Amino acid sequence: MRILRQFGIIIGIFMVGEFINNILHVPIPGNIIGMVLLFIALHSKVIKLEMIEEVSEFLLKHLAFFFIAPGVALIALLDRLSSVWLSFGLILIISTILVMGITGVVVQQVIRRGEK
């Protein structure tokens, strides 16, 4: 029952996040609100880490797997993207490298400057 209970808590928090998103019409999706709620609950010890730890670990370990279905949905766009796939890929590769590199350098520089 322990694992099921952990699943229940996590899905429950997600649902509360969705509820807030629907009621308040905030542009923040329910899962992100849920993430903030869980963080607050853990920090204020309302929820203890042991109460969700195993299922959280399971879900996070398989993070990439859960994106498989939206990836396969690409099949519906094959015709539309067939003429642009090369530039489409290039744009995403160049931009991703730029964002990752520049963000990392900035964070590192600001941290190092603060430590001096």
Partner 1 sequence: MDWFIDTPYFGILISIVMFEIGLYINKKTKIPVLHPLLISIGLIIGILLAFDISLETYEKGGNMISFFLGPVTVTLAVPLYKKIDLLKKHTKPILIGIIVGVFTSILSVVGLTKLFGYEDEMIYSLIPKSITTPIGIEVSESIGGIPSITVVSIIVTGIIGAIVAPFVCKIFRIEDKVAKGIAIGTSSHAVGTSKAMEMGETEGAMSGLAIGLAGLLTAVIVPILLIVLD
**Rounded least distance, CB 82 to partner 1, Å:** 13
The number of C-alpha atoms within 13 Å of 23 and in the hemisphere containing its C-beta is 7
**Under rule CB under 8 A, residue 105 binds partner 1:** yes
**Rounded least distance, CB 68 to partner 1, Å:** 5
Could you tell me if 30 and 14 are in contact, meaning their C-beta atoms sit under 8 angstroms apart?
yes
**Under rule CB under 8 A, residue 75 binds partner 1:** yes
How many positions of this chain bind partner 1 (CB under 8 A)? Answer: 74
Angle between helix 2-24 and 53-61 (nearest 10): 70
**Rounded least distance, CB 1 to partner 1, Å:** 18
Residues in 2-41 at the binding interface with partner 1, rule: CB under 8 A? 7, 10-11, 13-14, 17-18, 27-32, 34-39
6 Cβ partners below 8 Å, 6+ apart?
A: 51, 52, 53, 54, 55, 56
